[in-house]
Amino acid sequence: MEMARVIVDVPSKDTDRPFDYLIPERLRPWIEVGSRVGVPFGHRTLQGFVVSLHPRPEMETSKMKPIQEILDVMPPLSPELIELGEWMKERYACRLITALQSMLPTALKGKAERYISLGDGSGLEAEQPDSLFALLPESELEQQLIAFVSQRGEVSLQQLTRAFPDAAQAIKGLIERGRLSEHQQIKDKLQKKTLKAVGLAVTAEEAEGILASFPAKARRQKEILQHLLEMEPFLPLPLKDLLQTLGVTAGTVKALADKGWVTLEDVEVFRDPYRGRNFKPSEPLALTSEQQHVYDRIVRTLDQRAHGVFLLHGVTGSGKTEIYLQTIARCLDQGRQAIVLVPEISLTPQMVERFKGRFGDRVAVMHSRLSDGERYDEWRKIREGRASVVVGARSAVFAPFDNLGLIIMDEEHETSYKQEETPKYHARDVAIHRAYRTGAAVILGSATPSLESYHAARSQAQDDFAPVLLEMKARALGNKLPAVRVIDMREELREGNRSMFSRPLHEAIAGRLERGEQTVLLLNRRGYSTFVMCRSCGYVAGCPECDISLTYHQKSNNLRCHYCGYAAKTPEVCPDCGSEHIRYFGTGTQRVEEELAKLFPGIRVIRMDVDTTTEKGSHEKLLKQFREKKADVLLGTQMVAKGLDFPDVTLVGVITADSALNLPDFRAAEKTFQLLTQVAGRAGRHQLPGEVVIQSYTPEHYSIVHASGHDYLSFVKDELKHRKALHYPPYCRLILVTLSHEQLPLLVRMAENFAAGIKSEADRRGWFGSLDRFDASALDILGPVASPIPRLKNRYRFQCMIKWRGTMDAVSLTRSVAEQLQDSARDSTLQISIDVDPQMLM
Ligand SMILES: Nc1ncnc2c1ncn2[C@@H]1O[C@H](COP(=O)(O)OP(=O)(O)OP(=O)(O)O)[C@@H](O)[C@H]1O
Ligand SMILES: [Zn+2]
Ligand SMILES: [Zn+2]
């Protein structure tokens, strides 16, 4: 192939298509679909990805420029991932390059750098030999510049200007006259980490011979050779270590290298975030009969190497993880690879340990707390085939495996699987699509599946993507699900209890303290914010740019906007009325902690929230302390609800169950139910029986009633009724379109134009209509209305919600109307964001 289509690494509308380049002879063996290359583009050199290869066209190709360089030995992308990117582009209305970028570690975001070398003299002097230029003697500065460059062969422009700070004009002149030449080359943001290493360059016998004939005074050199000879199996040693052990100098080693007896080279070292840690090896457990049934069903599909999606609905503690481990083992035996997705928040060391313990070094781990370097190295471990299992958060769904057999998504209902920045993809849909294309199986696991997945599995839709429902109703260790009590907090108040702890929860904690058992306390912070309010006049401190209240941070004693980062000092008197009665509201974990200390003197509490877990490794440290029983209570936000498996936890308390129920989000009830079920599942997982106390101001709400009965099915039944009546997923799909602009009147007009455009275009295609008939395709649009956050970073925001059902391509309709509006507005300050299947409605 002599020609490549390349998509350049610039996310803009004009570059959202491949460009043609010639493949020069010297690069031909290296260029593949998925290769990362440097290409000339206008006056610049850009990074790009080869998306397809073609023979040289018949037509005149002199205009086509050649690919300049190739950036990796192994292409970072594959035809399969590029195809996945193309699918994402259509599905989520994003640009192809944005989709591809989201698959790669940031370390691979190369930028062009400019390099200077000696010119061939073919500048102006060559064209005009008689011109004055040729006769002009070079200045002293110019001679110095030329000498500097010729000594080094090639220097970066940056390096050259650093050495000669005032020489910009002179450098330019030399380039124009062809004495120097400039070219651009892509440089990665991050380099592989290397280490100088020393190794034997001769065979063992040769080395013996050399040693025997060595002059006595070269004692140091002899020692080095001797040392290297003793090292089995002659692996290169880090230079630093060698110098330290033998007490020799680098010069001595260099002398040996100059004689050609030892090698001195840069070898790559891998940054392993889990280096030096021992993971207790674990053996497969004998499966329970429920587990066996589920395992057999999944393995049947694996063995056929067929595509299949399974929704594994198993109660908390039913042993889903063991199913994951054993199906992965089967997949690895087949020589295929597996991806395990877990929500960021539950990517705990305990989780990692279970996989590393079973599969050892074959496991790569990817999460957001890794440094860019660590992440790059873990990624390469996968790309180069040194890992065959990856455990990671959302973006691990793009792991560059070439023979994928299984994708597992634990806690499949978690909203964090949806990426909130472009490309706004949902890892579940990407996983299912990727598996479909590669003939892999997918396991979606949860004790509380999302209504979308559950509905799809139950309705047995006749398509390739509808999951097969597999259920596990009992806990693996045979113990019962914990008893749940719901306490009406209004009642408590009526009877004179003003504390945030009800009497039953108070008693239950006291009992645990006496018996030396442990308690997990959840503070549902969603919907709560600790804001500052004046009790005299009602003033609330808000962000001047975002129309949203500022959040109080106790540690730094300041107020911060969680959207734009604006920070201010906490006022001591009200800026509006001057009153001193201004203070923060809301129940922070810190206040609960204070109250606990007051009620139970001497109680040992570990607090886990955003404030105590910012430091790398702190999450892990806190959990370890709790596991070692250095605390009686683990108190925290959502973080304590998931995945933890501690034998001595016999009580789970929920401070306020319903704080999130009133949020303007159609999933509010679902999320409340899920959170309560998850956290309740932390109690009594082993020998000791568990108990759960849920405090609520609306104990009659169906999400709380059903969570207390561990009754997923009844919850689903009630919730689906609401969804159906109000036309929400799973009975239709949504597209949230947000328009923003600095000027309000203009924005309102454009938002109205947008809505009208959708209506008329949908009408023209015969799609527009009411969603009331469930057997028919239909599309409806709500809005425009001001967004829940009406102003953000000084831009006003309006939104439209498109609801649709059926086989039409509503995404491409939305995209084309948005692009038309953007074109006609000819106003680059209008921003339109399209969120397909949105999760966050606030
Ligand atoms: N077949 C088995 N034999 C013995 N013990 C088992 C078996 N399967 C699982 N277990 C144990 O049961 C406990 C619960 O299992 P696991 O954590 O896998 O459940 P889960 O379904 O993933 O729970 P959750 O959804 O609550 O995180 C663990 O301590 C696990 O070691
Ligand atoms: Zn006031
Ligand atoms: Zn702000």
Pocket perturbation via mutation, ligand 1, pick of 312, 318, 481, 676 by most ligand atoms within 8 A of CB: 318
Q: What band does 529 get if pLDDT is binned at 50, 70 and 90?
A: low
What is the average pLDDT across 411-419?
93
Candidate from 348-352, 412-416, 491-495, 645-649 with smallest mean pLDDT = 348-352
What is the average pLDDT across 467-493?
90
What is the average pLDDT across 61-75?
83
C-beta atoms surrounding 531 within 10 Å: 17
**Residue 135's pLDDT is what?**
46
Candidate from 205-209, 267-271, 579-583 with smallest mean pLDDT = 267-271
Nearest ligand atom owner, CA of 549 = 3
**Residue 371's pLDDT is what?**
80
Paired tokens of 528: 């709560």
Q: What band does 489 get if pLDDT is binned at 50, 70 and 90?
A: confident
* Torsion (CA) 148, 152, 154, 157 in degrees, nearest 10: -40
Paired tokens of 693: 């106390």
Q: What band does 305 get if pLDDT is binned at 50, 70 and 90?
A: very high
Paired tokens of 97: 């390059």
**Residue 125's pLDDT is what?**
47
Q: What band does 466 get if pLDDT is binned at 50, 70 and 90?
A: confident
Beta bridge partners of 267: 195
Cis bond leading into 281, ω under 30°?
no
The answer to whether residue 704 scores a pLDDT higher than 80 is: yes
Please tell me the residue having the least CA distance from ligand 1 atom 3.
Answer: 285
- Contacting residues for 660 by C-beta, under 8 A, at least 6 apart: 524, 526, 527, 668, 671, 672, 675
What is the average pLDDT across 706-735?
93
Q: What is the pLDDT of residues 219-235, one digit of tens each?
A: 888 888 888 877 655 56
**Residue 525's pLDDT is what?**
66
Beta bridge partners of 410: 445
Q: What is the pLDDT of residues 791-824, one digit of tens each?
A: 888 899 999 999 999 888 999 999 999 999 988 8
**Residue 681's pLDDT is what?**
86
**Residue 268's pLDDT is what?**
65
Q: Is 536 helix (H, G, I), strand (E, B) or coil?
A: coil
For 312, phi then psi, to 5°, come to: -95, 100
Contact 20, 56 (CB under 8 A): no
Residue type, 138: E
Paired tokens of 664: 């303007």
> What letters, b where the CB count within 10 A reaches 16 and e where it falls short, cover 159-185?
ebbeeeeebeebbebbeebbbbbeebb
Q: How far is CA 116 from the centre of its chain?
A: 38
Question: Distance between CA atoms of 831 and 745, rounded to whole angstroms?
Answer: 15
Cβ of 447 less than 6 Å from ligand 1: yes
Cβ of 291 less than 6 Å from ligand 1: yes
Cβ of 449 less than 6 Å from ligand 1: no
The answer to whether residue 542 scores a pLDDT higher than 50 is: yes
Q: What band does 277 get if pLDDT is binned at 50, 70 and 90?
A: low
Contact 317, 473 (CB under 8 A): no
**Residue 462's pLDDT is what?**
59
Contact 506, 657 (CB under 8 A): no
Instruction: For residue 553, report the distance from its CA to the centre of ligand 2, in Å.
Output: 20
**Residue 601's pLDDT is what?**
94
Pocket perturbation via mutation, ligand 1, pick of 321, 323, 687 by most ligand atoms within 8 A of CB: 321
The answer to whether residue 88 scores a pLDDT higher than 90 is: yes
Candidate from 163-167, 415-419, 534-538, 661-665 with smallest mean pLDDT = 661-665
> At which residue do the structure tokens 């959202």 appear?
16
331 is in an annotated binding site: no
Contact 735, 835 (CB under 8 A): yes
Q: Is 708 helix (H, G, I), strand (E, B) or coil?
A: helix
Nearest to 405 by CA among 344, 487, 332: 332
**Residue 463's pLDDT is what?**
64
**Residue 527's pLDDT is what?**
44
pTM of the model: 0.81
- Contacting residues for 835 by C-beta, under 8 A, at least 6 apart: 424, 735, 736, 737, 738
- Contacting residues for 303 by C-beta, under 8 A, at least 6 apart: 330, 334
Mean pLDDT of the chain: 86
**Residue 110's pLDDT is what?**
75
Paired tokens of 636: 């925290």
Please tell me the residue having the least CA distance from ligand 1 atom 13.
Answer: 317
- Contacting residues for 201 by C-beta, under 8 A, at least 6 apart: 257, 260, 261, 262, 263
Query: What percent of the chain has a predicted confidence (pLDDT) above 70?
Result: 91
Paired tokens of 841: 């409605």
Q: What band does 126 get if pLDDT is binned at 50, 70 and 90?
A: very low
**Residue 272's pLDDT is what?**
64
Please tell me the residue having the least CA distance from ligand 1 atom 26.
Answer: 316
Instruction: For residue 410, report the distance from its CA to the centre of ligand 1, in Å.
Output: 13
Output the 3-class SS for 668-681.
HHHHHHHHHHHHHC
The answer to whether residue 239 scores a pLDDT higher than 90 is: no
Which has the higher per-residue pLDDT, 360 or 131?
Answer: 360
Please tell me the residue having the least CA distance from ligand 1 atom 9.
Answer: 319
**What number is the ipTM of this complex?**
0.95
Helices (H), 177-277: 204-212, 219-230, 239-246, 250-258
Nearest to 317 by CA among 44, 605, 683: 683
Nearest to 716 by CA among 461, 481, 457, 454: 454
Range picked from 567-581, 672-686, 737-751 for highest mean pLDDT: 737-751
What is the average pLDDT across 194-213?
79
Exposed / middle / buried, residue 553 (Cβ in 10 Å: 0-12, 13-18, 19+): middle
Query: Which atom of ligand 1 has the smallest separation from the CA of 681?
Result: 26
Which has the higher per-residue pLDDT, 613 or 335?
Answer: 335
Instruction: For residue 582, report the distance from its CA to the centre of ligand 2, in Å.
Output: 7
Query: Which atom of ligand 1 has the smallest separation from the CA of 286?
Result: 1
**Residue 107's pLDDT is what?**
80
